[in-house]
Structure 1
Amino acid sequence: MRWIFLCCCVLYAWPRWVLACELRVQVSDFPPYSYQKDGEWRGSRVVLSQRLAQKLNCGVRFYDVPWARALVLLQQGDLDLMFNLTPTPAREAFLWFSRPHHLERLAFATTMTDPQWQQLQDLSKLAEFPGIIALTQGSYMGQPMMELLQQSKFRQKTLEVAERRVKNELVLKDRAQGLVEDLDYLKFAITNFPEYQQLTITPLRLSQTKVSAGFSKNSVLFKQKQQLVQAIAELDAEGLWFSELP
């Protein structure tokens, strides 16, 4: 009887053991999505990771990795997940994209005091911008902007860096005079960090797209793709997957 009882216990525990895993998630200093406070990662993407990990019966570990480097690690299978990604054919070669989790709006901000640039609305006018424009390497900024970047004259006005923090510091230290950045991040930073108050968010919006979580097709976790699909569907049905900040 004891042997039968033990066998039953093992069989009951088997599915939970099979699903035991660790969800490796890219994060960075990117409030309100991810940021550190009291030695812990917090923010909406951190909460979303924890919800997903719980559905999968996984632990979760956060890796502070720059945007461009994270894409390389995802391609190698050394990271499982990265949020706020726009699906592109190049990325789909090594990433599986979830249903959208957020409406991302990319804006242009500047330290220029000339009203002509503070009130910039037309992307074509950006080609005449008199300063340097800082960009995040590997970021998709909407098709019109990507086409503009193909023009060598405009490309000379831009400076691409791998890490968002470094990109923003270039502008704050006047080594660049404009930048493309997530609108919600800019609003948060200007409200909470005094040094960002020198920035003006222009009316120009480069893109407004629903972004998704990208899962590495080369990671161990992706072998549980069906469980991923089901977990995200359940979170979405519960109203816990898609979020849009005011």
Structure 2
Amino acid sequence: MPFRTLQGLSACLSVNVLLIKVLLITALLLFSGALLAEPLAPCQFSVRVESERQNDAAGSHNDTRVSQQFYTLLDSLAAKVNCTVRPIALPAGRAIKMLEQGELDVMVGMSETAERARFSFFVGPHHSERMVVVASRRIADSVTDLKQLLALDGFISITEGAYYGPEWQQLLLDNPALQARLFAASGNQQKLAMLVSGRVMASLEDEAIVDELLKRDDLSSQYRKLFVIHDNPVYFAFSRQSVNQVLLLQLQQQWQLMQASGEVERIRQQLPTALP
């Protein structure tokens, strides 16, 4: 095919892609006007945030760019449905129970599971999570899977109520004795603090958080990522007890509009500097 013909075809495809985006945004806006003719009354979403830091050497999970982006996205989404966000510092396990009972309205960074779907509506996803094993550099980097890790002596910290993928779930079922080697932390901050204090040999954490924390020389000289154990999209999980179907539809629609307009990507490119 002649080069000019290829250039023309490429230009045509670019125009078509742009046209599709414009049509998508237009369609969503028209649908928005039809569905949301009457605005909802003002509301407030209570959202779980990490408890206070427990070890300064571990850094702050709340202060990481990734974590702050989650809440910036939630703030923007809530504002579009005439709501505000009220952060509450809670342990992870307790927060999930409160979400189930309708005492907490939303949690960020939640994997969608059948169990959680009983009491949560999932909006998003807002992040692609890769769970990794982070460990002391005393552990050889030749350890590349969970079976090799579990063959070593020592404790592993996890977040209470967190989901680490089907392989991890199956290991827990097949090896009941594994529970005795786990430290179920109240949140990511406590989990990392356990690692830094030397009370556990390894911790399971979101790779994006780990990468950010390991930019600190004092941490990178002592700890390393070993391997990925699971990856999946994570969502805003809204309580079925406190969010009705009309509000849910608005949240879902406004999230689609935020994506189509490029707002989600713009927020991800920003560097938030304040906690929610």
TM-score normalised over the length of structure 1:
0.81
Amino acid at match of 2:65: P
Amino acid at match of 2:185: V
Larger deviation: 121-130 or 210-219?
121-130
Distance 2:78 2:44 in 1: 8
Amino acid at match of 1:83: V
What are structure 2's unaligned runs of at least 5 residues?
1-36, 51-60, 270-276
Contact 1:171 1:178 survives alignment (8 Å): yes
Q: Report Cα offsets for 1:206-241 as digits up to 9, x if no partner.
A: 101111111100015665122112111211212334
Return the offset for 1:125.
Answer: 1.5
Aligned partner of 1:52 in structure 2 is: 77
Residues 1:127 and 2:172 are matched in the alignment: no
Distance 1:216 1:235 in 2: 22
Amino acid at match of 2:103: D
Q: Report Cα offsets for 1:21-54 as digits up to 9, x if no partner.
A: 11222222442233xxxxxxxx101210121022
Aligned partner of 2:17 in structure 1 is: none
Amino acid at match of 1:50: D
Query: Which aligned pairs between 1:1-80 and structure 2 lie closer than 5 A?
Result: 15-16=38-39, 18-28=40-50, 29-30=61-62, 31-34=64-67, 43-80=68-105
Residues 71, 129 of structure 1: alpha-carbon distance in 2 compared, 3 angstrom cutoff:
same
Distance 1:185 1:221 in 2: 33
Residues 193, 68 of structure 1: alpha-carbon distance in 2 compared, 3 angstrom cutoff:
farther
Contact 1:216 1:222 survives alignment (8 Å): no
Alignment RMSD (CA, Å): 2.3
Residues 1:214 and 2:237 are matched in the alignment: yes
What are structure 1's unaligned runs of at least 5 residues?
1-13, 35-42
Return the offset for 1:193.
Answer: 7.2
Contact 1:97 1:215 survives alignment (8 Å): yes
Distance 1:62 1:197 in 2: 34
Contact 1:215 1:222 survives alignment (8 Å): no
Aligned partner of 1:4 in structure 2 is: none
Query: Which aligned pairs between 1:1-246 and structure 2 lie closer than 5 A?
Result: 15-16=38-39, 18-28=40-50, 29-30=61-62, 31-34=64-67, 43-115=68-140, 118-150=141-173, 151-192=175-216, 194-195=218-219, 197-202=221-226, 204-220=227-243, 224-241=247-264
Return the offset for 1:129.
Answer: 2.1
The secondary structure found in structure 2 opposite 1:119 is coil
The secondary structure found in structure 1 opposite 2:125 is coil
Contact 2:157 2:203 survives alignment (8 Å): yes
TM-score normalised over the length of structure 2:
0.72
Sequence identity, in percent?
25
Distance 2:97 2:189 in 1: 19
Amino acid at match of 2:129: E
Amino acid at match of 1:111: S
